[in-house]
Structure 1
Amino acid sequence: MPNLSNNQSSLDFKEEVRSHTDIVGLISESVALQPRSGGREYVGLCPFHDDHNPSMRVYPERQTFRCWSCSTGGDVFTFVTERESVTFPEAVEILARRANLEIPKFVSGRSPQQESSRARQFEVLQWAESLFQRTLLNSPEAEPARKYLHGRGIDEETMRKFRLGFHPSGWDWLIKQSQGKYPLQLLEDVCLVAKKDNGGYYDFFGHRIIFPIHNERGQAVSFSGRLLPGDERPSKYKNGSATPVFNKSRLLYALDLARDEIRNQDQAIVVEGYTDCIALHQHGIQNAVVTMGTALTDEQVTVLKRFARRVILCFDGDDAGQDAASRSVERFLAQDVDLRILTPPDKLDPADFLESHGADAFRELSKNAPQAWDFRFQMAKRKYGTGTIDGRERVLTEMLNVLAQVPKLSTSVRESILIADLAHRTSVPEETVRGLLNEVRSSGPKRVYVENHAATPGSFTEEVQRIIHGQLSSRERVECDLLQIVLAVPETIQIVENAVSTTPMRNRILKGILRKCTQDAWANGEFTLSGLLDHMPEKDLKSLVVWLDEQASAKGLANKIRESDVDEEGCPQLLRQSIEALQKDEARHSSDNLSIRLSQSTDGQTRSDVATEDELLLQAAEFHRKRATKKSGF
């Protein structure tokens, strides 16, 4: 049964919020209002459509508003839900905060203590943001950061608009600044400092350019720090972990600045780099936002849907950017969103394209950006070709795999349209396509081979076949996990390479594939799946790489890694777990070898044998000491 007391309390609180909110004052915060009829009504430009002749009326006596052009109207709660694109409960909470009312737990789901803690977190984040920005604009130590940003075409006005900042060098600069103001525990709660292994704290973003992350209402909720050019530390970008006020899977960078323009144009441009987004805004293209990681999440798609019907995905023009754009297609297929893919020519990123071609050329590219389904089909067509029956079959299989990943499409009109389109493009009867789609949905994605050779078990070497069939040792399973992570998120290659330099892979085939990934990364500055396959002549290895990539995709590793918390070395938690599993297995293997060699000792040993045994005993003791230390946490 419903909780009547809570329902009544909700109604009472809503009316209390209403009584503390003057509609004229509320709307005046975002719309210039002029009094009419002796103050009995006010008029202004409607914020809900492209209004040039004031068509919105606000009635203070009734505490209502109405636009006589687009017909949007209602009370203070309606205005906030429409203006902020939030739910009704969120609107109540926003207005309650505006009126400085204590928010009951049945409204926010948080206790008064949690509300107080949340308010303090916002306060310390705002303090840090202001401190970082003043340092960037005024400190002599920030001159290299200002020089870098100016070199990227970012002027001081734009730095202020995006509230960019700088954290000087030193492990305790921010800690010293916070003394007497905020406790270190509070700074740790919002990921401004982190604990040292041996006790104490250190600044999380030391010696980095700071990009503040804001929620839709413009409040700082986290930060991202970028290394200065020439700084050889790992992880060019260091991102704050999830906190009570920061959920990166839902947020979009710069949405607080872009949402009005997105709503006006009914179109959002999504890029993958902070500086790309900032460059677009500076060139007058102010409907640009950034994903928190290259892959769009379902929550981010839902947020974008509230503001615009069309989304233009503009990732870098290189292979990695195109792969990231391709992976995002499935998230939009089931939603009522017109997704387009904008590909800058000459493998440029958006900022470089703007610098060399200008804003008008970018707008022209946006206007002609193909729909996502067309983009995805053309990628498959370039990959396999459609001039042969074999090529068309592979294109069809890949596109069916795309459709099959979106179960929400089942029985929808949109799915029927896409099936008909795919049937037409591949010259396959529509009913056959539908039957194949059902088959893929029930049995899982089908493997598509790049090379034109029969995909029979006999074409695999015995070892590749063993790996694909899952006949793996625990060590090989971990090594497969590491390779899948590298294929899903290529930027992790350096972290994995560093790990295996001290704890090498044992499976020669998996080790060889990782070596090729590293060679590609060194030669080209990065590696891509397509580049890896191009430089891998062995058919069996190609088949294994494709299988590993499919496994990574089926597990959703790209999203999981990019949404995972990172440690102080910039290593995602999920990747760290695999590395530690590899190291643990190596330590266990070493311990077993020591035990075997010690057990083979006899009474007739020579002096050198005794010395060797002593050395082995010391190694064993050291191994067990480290193991005990790790377990105790000291």
Structure 2
Amino acid sequence: MSPGQAGDGLGMSTDIRAQVLQAIDLVALIGQSVALKKRGRHYVGLCPFHQEKAPSFHVSPEKQTFYCFGCKVGGTAFDFVMKRDRVEFKEALEILARQAGITLPAYGGARQPPGERQLLLDAHTAACRFFENLFWDPHRGAAARNYMLGRGFKEETLRSFGVGLAPDSWDALLSGPVGRKFPSSLLLKAGLVKQREDGSGFYDTFRNRIIFPIRNEAGQIIAFGGRVMPGSDDPAKYLNSPETPLFAKSRSVFGLSFARESITLSRTVAVVEGYTDVMMAHQFGAANVVSVLGTAMTEHHVGLLRRFADRIVLLFDADAAGDMAVNRVVELFLTQPVEIAVASMPAGLDPDEFLLRHGKQGFEQLLAGAKDALEYGWSRFKARFAADGSVTGQQRAVGEYLDMLAQARAAGKVDALRWGAALVRVSRLTEIPLDQLNRRFASKRSAWRNRHPADAGSFPGQSGQSAPHAGEMAQRTVLGAILNEPQRLAAVRDALKVEDFQEPRLRALAGVLWEYQHSGGKPVLNELLASLSDENIRSLAVELAVEAEEIGEIDKALDDAVAYMVEARRATEEREMFSAAHEAGVDQQVEMLRRLQEKARRPDLRRIGP
């Protein structure tokens, strides 16, 4: 099968798939989700598909492929979107074609409707337009608009963030342009409407609220947040969209698409509590500010943010920075490979109010004074120890602080000098002898280590896996060299057969390469990947190409690998012939001997290089 003829099982030719890939800059696409740094010929960053401490995610601008050495995921722009958005190939193709401005041909002669994810995104975009139009309506939006302008927001900021208005109506969205364009079942799945308890129909999720669109890191609207209008008797001040196929509150961050560039440059992100705090920070030029969505900071939030930042600063309201908040911060500090610091707002002020009073400079000074997780824990411990006059309460406070310190030390987050200094501080404050604290600390540290075996530092998928044997390494080298330099294929194919590749996936990939050569095509990696429908084989091809790039003397390595495989084939055939000879007569044995001598006259294999 030659390029241009292969299909995807949906009537879509490889030509279109290759055209879409050619129009997409993979570095820019992945850069929406990962902070990439140039390293030699590649870009490198933290993998968005698994937790890792050191970046092992590589993007090749030359080949337009990506590969993670940790979780072994790789492929083209299609594979990245499929993994990132959790969609099938068809939807990934639609997403990228739309992004590239390419109109896809009809499937089987009829226009195929967009996939569900795209329809959900389209519904959110339409709803946002509906809410915005109402917000800027001279009459209907006056109260909401005056409220936001009265809080110090500029029109430019409100328009930039897409602030809107949901009217005081049960079905304004449902009975308007959005409801006429999209079926109620889809709007229900999008979280834009709810079903009546008696099942008789639907009603709008957001009513009488100022609306804040929630975007993913790529800037697509995936949900909404709503603040109740002033004067409303609704007890729920803030309301977010429910969980949907697009939106999970514990994994989403408000304002990231606006803040991503600034975070990447500064390597620091500040996390506040509300939508308006984020918007005001951006209005004042503090563009590295985001917020979580009415939920505690989770490891998923940290995992998302640390793709772009090395330091996360949490801004707590003075009345919210209690013991539970401290414990959560320390837990994140211990479990995530990122620096986490805490800053407390002055009493009675929200971040947006603080910015209006003190401006960007004051806000930056507040962030600069943030304490790291352990220092913050120490300040909370001192306050608690002083406030609780009972012996039992003070002992409990000491025990909990030592627990925190032991966990940090056992997890490798605190060096010997720092934990020693911390014990001295505790001893001075509590008048507990230092040697007694040391014994208690050692006991707690040992107990924590027993509950949490030390991380060996291996990447996911590596533990327990044995290295490929020599035969498999030879087969991988051959295929990797061909994928990087397709002009080698003709010479390799003269020396080897598809059957010489023993591992099933390697044999399947070799079969594709040999077929391309047989039909006269030149297998270029990106073009080849576009023709493969098997995601595992696509990932394998990228893996082998990346492996081969790391081989110093590839010409010699390829010659040796081909020679090894030819010798392995000859040895196998000899064993089979000798086995058969035991069952044959003399004449047959003579003929087999002649054939073995023929095979011993092997061709010169030092001609595999380009």
Normalising by structure 1, report the TM-score.
0.54
Q: Which amino acid aligns with 1:433?
A: F
1:343 matched to which residue of 2? Answer: 344
Tell which deviates more after alignment, 423-432 or 411-420. Answer: 411-420
Q: Which amino acid aligns with 2:241?
A: G
Tell which deviates more after alignment, 368-377 or 311-320. Answer: 311-320
2:61 matched to which residue of 1? Answer: 75
Q: 1:312/1:327 Cα in 2 relative to 1: closer, same or farther (>3 Å)?
A: same
Q: 1:122/1:325 Cα in 2 relative to 1: closer, same or farther (>3 Å)?
A: farther
Q: 1:387/1:151 Cα in 2 relative to 1: closer, same or farther (>3 Å)?
A: closer
1:556 matched to which residue of 2? Answer: none
1:435 matched to which residue of 2? Answer: 443
Structure 1 residue 293, shift from structure 2 partner? 2.1
Q: Which amino acid aligns with 2:89?
A: I
1:137 matched to which residue of 2? Answer: 136
Distance 1:301 1:211 in 2: 23
Determine if contact 1:77/1:88 at 8 Å carries over to the other structure.
Answer: no
Determine if contact 1:318/1:348 at 8 Å carries over to the other structure.
Answer: no
Q: Which amino acid aligns with 2:120?
A: Q
Larger radius of gyration: 2
1:120 matched to which residue of 2? Answer: 119
Q: Which amino acid aligns with 1:425?
A: R
Q: Deviations over 1:480-534 (max 9, x none)?
A: xxxxxxxxxxxxxxxxxxxxxxxxxxxxxxxxxxxxxxxxxxxxxxxxxxxxxxx
**Where do 1:540-619 residues align within 5 Å?**
none
Match of 1:138, SS state, is coil
Q: Which amino acid aligns with 1:182?
A: F
Using CA pairs below 8 Å that are at least 6 residues apart, which structure has the higher relative contact order? Answer: 2
Determine if contact 2:91/2:118 at 8 Å carries over to the other structure.
Answer: no
Determine if contact 2:409/2:445 at 8 Å carries over to the other structure.
Answer: no
Distance 1:292 1:259 in 2: 17
Determine if contact 1:312/1:366 at 8 Å carries over to the other structure.
Answer: yes
**Larger proportion of helix:** 1
Distance 1:24 1:220 in 2: 21
Determine if contact 1:315/1:322 at 8 Å carries over to the other structure.
Answer: no
Q: 1:116/1:256 Cα in 2 relative to 1: closer, same or farther (>3 Å)?
A: same
Structure 1 residue 48, shift from structure 2 partner? 5.6
Q: Deviations over 1:127-155 (max 9, x none)?
A: 11111112112251111111111122111
Determine if contact 2:27/2:61 at 8 Å carries over to the other structure.
Answer: no
Match of 2:254, SS state, is coil
Determine if contact 2:329/2:373 at 8 Å carries over to the other structure.
Answer: no
Distance 1:188 1:97 in 2: 25
Distance 1:392 1:78 in 2: 60
Distance 1:207 1:106 in 2: 36
1:185 matched to which residue of 2? Answer: 185
Distance 2:88 2:443 in 1: 57
Distance 2:204 2:335 in 1: 43
Q: Which amino acid aligns with 1:74?
A: S
Normalising by structure 2, report the TM-score.
0.56
Q: Deviations over 1:94-123 (max 9, x none)?
A: 56899xx97169999xxx999811111111
1:161 matched to which residue of 2? Answer: 160
Determine if contact 2:26/2:61 at 8 Å carries over to the other structure.
Answer: no
Match of 2:21, SS state, is coil
Match of 1:226, SS state, is strand
1:196 matched to which residue of 2? Answer: 196
Match of 1:169, SS state, is coil
Q: Deviations over 1:172-194 (max 9, x none)?
A: 11111134311111111111110
2:253 matched to which residue of 1? Answer: 252
Distance 1:420 1:75 in 2: 48
Structure 1 residue 440, shift from structure 2 partner? 7.3
Structure 1 residue 90, shift from structure 2 partner? 8.9
Q: 1:201/1:324 Cα in 2 relative to 1: closer, same or farther (>3 Å)?
A: same
Q: Which amino acid aligns with 1:370?
A: K
2:241 matched to which residue of 1? Answer: 240
1:20 matched to which residue of 2? Answer: 20
Match of 2:244, SS state, is coil
Distance 1:410 1:325 in 2: 17
2:401 matched to which residue of 1? Answer: 399
1:467 matched to which residue of 2? Answer: none
Determine if contact 1:213/1:221 at 8 Å carries over to the other structure.
Answer: yes
Match of 2:413, SS state, is helix
Match of 1:385, SS state, is helix
Q: 1:115/1:292 Cα in 2 relative to 1: closer, same or farther (>3 Å)?
A: farther
Structure 1 vs Structure 2: percent identity of aligned residues?
Answer: 31
**Where do 1:500-519 residues align within 5 Å?**
none
Distance 2:445 2:43 in 1: 48
Q: Deviations over 1:537-558 (max 9, x none)?
A: xxxxxxxxxxxxxxxxxxxxxx
Distance 1:415 1:338 in 2: 12
Determine if contact 2:250/2:301 at 8 Å carries over to the other structure.
Answer: yes
Determine if contact 1:89/1:107 at 8 Å carries over to the other structure.
Answer: no
Q: 1:191/1:103 Cα in 2 relative to 1: closer, same or farther (>3 Å)?
A: same
Distance 1:354 1:435 in 2: 46
Q: 1:315/1:76 Cα in 2 relative to 1: closer, same or farther (>3 Å)?
A: farther
Q: 1:387/1:204 Cα in 2 relative to 1: closer, same or farther (>3 Å)?
A: closer
1:278 matched to which residue of 2? Answer: 279
1:424 matched to which residue of 2? Answer: 424
Q: 1:222/1:387 Cα in 2 relative to 1: closer, same or farther (>3 Å)?
A: closer
Q: 1:233/1:299 Cα in 2 relative to 1: closer, same or farther (>3 Å)?
A: same
Determine if contact 1:332/1:339 at 8 Å carries over to the other structure.
Answer: yes
Distance 2:122 2:182 in 1: 10
Q: 1:66/1:274 Cα in 2 relative to 1: closer, same or farther (>3 Å)?
A: closer
* RMSD (Å) for aligned C-alpha atoms: 4.4
Distance 1:145 1:104 in 2: 41
Determine if contact 1:270/1:314 at 8 Å carries over to the other structure.
Answer: yes
Structure 1 residue 348, shift from structure 2 partner? 1.4
Distance 1:322 1:235 in 2: 25
Q: 1:161/1:316 Cα in 2 relative to 1: closer, same or farther (>3 Å)?
A: same
Q: 1:263/1:14 Cα in 2 relative to 1: closer, same or farther (>3 Å)?
A: farther
Match of 2:306, SS state, is helix
Q: 1:423/1:321 Cα in 2 relative to 1: closer, same or farther (>3 Å)?
A: closer
Q: Deviations over 1:372-422 (max 9, x none)?
A: 210111111111139999576443212244467x6xx68432255565454
Long gaps (5+) in structure 2: 1-7, 45-57, 95-106, 428-433, 453-610
Match of 1:21, SS state, is helix
2:291 matched to which residue of 1? Answer: 290
Structure 1 residue 201, shift from structure 2 partner? 1.1
Determine if contact 1:93/1:107 at 8 Å carries over to the other structure.
Answer: no
1:584 matched to which residue of 2? Answer: none
Provide the aligned length of Structure 1 versus Structure 2: 394
2:224 matched to which residue of 1? Answer: 223
Q: Which amino acid aligns with 1:254?
A: G
Structure 1 residue 338, shift from structure 2 partner? 1.4
Determine if contact 1:313/1:325 at 8 Å carries over to the other structure.
Answer: no
**Where do 1:78-97 residues align within 5 Å?**
88=74, 91-93=77-79
Structure 1 residue 426, shift from structure 2 partner? 1.5
Determine if contact 1:125/1:220 at 8 Å carries over to the other structure.
Answer: yes
Q: Which amino acid aligns with 2:170?
A: W
Long gaps (5+) in structure 1: 1-7, 32-46, 50-54, 58-63, 445-634
Q: 1:295/1:56 Cα in 2 relative to 1: closer, same or farther (>3 Å)?
A: closer
Q: 1:441/1:80 Cα in 2 relative to 1: closer, same or farther (>3 Å)?
A: closer
Q: 1:140/1:106 Cα in 2 relative to 1: closer, same or farther (>3 Å)?
A: closer
Distance 2:76 2:425 in 1: 46
Q: Which amino acid aligns with 1:135?
A: L
**Where do 1:275-424 residues align within 5 Å?**
275-319=276-320, 324=325, 327-385=328-386, 390=391, 393-402=395-404, 411-414=410-413, 417=416, 419-424=419-424
**Is 2:268 the counterpart of 1:267?**
yes
Determine if contact 2:409/2:419 at 8 Å carries over to the other structure.
Answer: no
Determine if contact 2:271/2:290 at 8 Å carries over to the other structure.
Answer: yes
Determine if contact 2:26/2:77 at 8 Å carries over to the other structure.
Answer: no
Structure 1 residue 169, shift from structure 2 partner? 1.2
